[in-house]
Structure 1
């Protein structure tokens, strides 16, 4: 029953079902090994407590589960390891709350609170990067689960962005050095940029919904071009976040040239796609939507570049 209930569910639900089955199978084996003393114990309950047949069955069932739990309790870690090996994969859990924003530090240690705000910015960046990835996967695979994960990730982005903004506003009233105040302002600006990346990912998912409803299909060449500009943009976003995490001015400086390359690529793809339209290799509907998608990609690169520029100027 547990296995049937978990069909089509996420990794966590499947592991719960697997743990349930493993728990009962292991318990049954133990019970069979000690079947004679177990049976004697149940008969003792029946005789001593004057149990009806129905209550005897209930006591047998309860005794089995309680004993099984007591025996297996010390081995919960091993059971979890077994189930994880049997059902591999990454847990699809979106945490909607920030991880590093400790309100007590605002008054007690403002400098440490600012450092935690930077960590939270990177946490937010991870979700922005994930949302962007899911938006492309949805275009290619057109799997509704990708869209659902994308929407949930966007909710997490908005929640963390709001909490981080409130945290930084409260922190701004504390005694900070000039450099720390500048860093606070730039973390706040960068949070806006990451939130906008999430908005672009959401817009791309909604656009893909429209493409599916209207049964709009891209040519093989168009899909190859989308993959090309997406891959360059996705790596660009990851490197921008890495430059913040590692405080790498050299990497941030390199991103400036790569940003220009992405902009040039967008212009090139616009021209090649218009050429396909003129040749009748692509429908006008697909042509308009193709331009919309690559425009979102360049805007995402713009926001990532804004963050990298702050690293380059040692402002974050």
Structure 2
């Protein structure tokens, strides 16, 4: 389990000044009214495409791979909307870390909280299946206000960012678990905790299995979901935060616990979970993190899917 990093004078070293400056600017920005943040975030995201050409290319390639039949014009609009969403995601990170509980609550509605409460009955551990939407940070904060939980994460290399992100994420949650700490996650689930886990990214060849994901037949997918499910026997509950249209806030969607997850067949279980992830992404595909190189890991002998 990761313990919150404590502030020390070492974090005032000149190497961190730019980080502190950026965090200070973000803190000040998110004091603006939400409609202004919505407009500013979208503007920043759209204009960032001029400078993030590699990320634009990755996003385009991911959409080509996942949706080969998508019409070119629609694909380009999706890319534009996706970067608009990414800019808003930056604002939402500041909102998640620096807004008060009351201000966060004002902007989201919860659907299906009873599903989580039912899954957690009798001190049953629950693995919340998270999806990497751009609003992920705010989703974690909102979820914690409904029911504090633990979350899997990757510690940040920048010690100032690690300090602030962990502090921000734990404002409404219990603890952060290093994604490599399998034992800690299993123990927490067995003790009846609710643990957030995201199975939808490419974490490299170690600990991955290749399974279909949208139109990509062999996508490196973490074995972690299956391992945790088999060892801890938790309930599995998908949860996502979706932006409403026209800057009207958010919907926190807590789905019923999954039924029929095949604990006796890893490949079947991986395919099952990838289908769940696909269903959740299609609720708001423009808001998903397409700029991640989701298919960078290939089977032995396979060529790269990215130019």
* TM-score where L is the length of structure 2: 0.26
Determine which structure has the larger helix proportion and give its number: 1
* TM-score where L is the length of structure 1: 0.26
Determine which structure has the larger strand proportion and give its number: 2
Name which structure has the greater RCO, CA cutoff 8 Å, separation 6+: 2
Greater gyration radius: 1
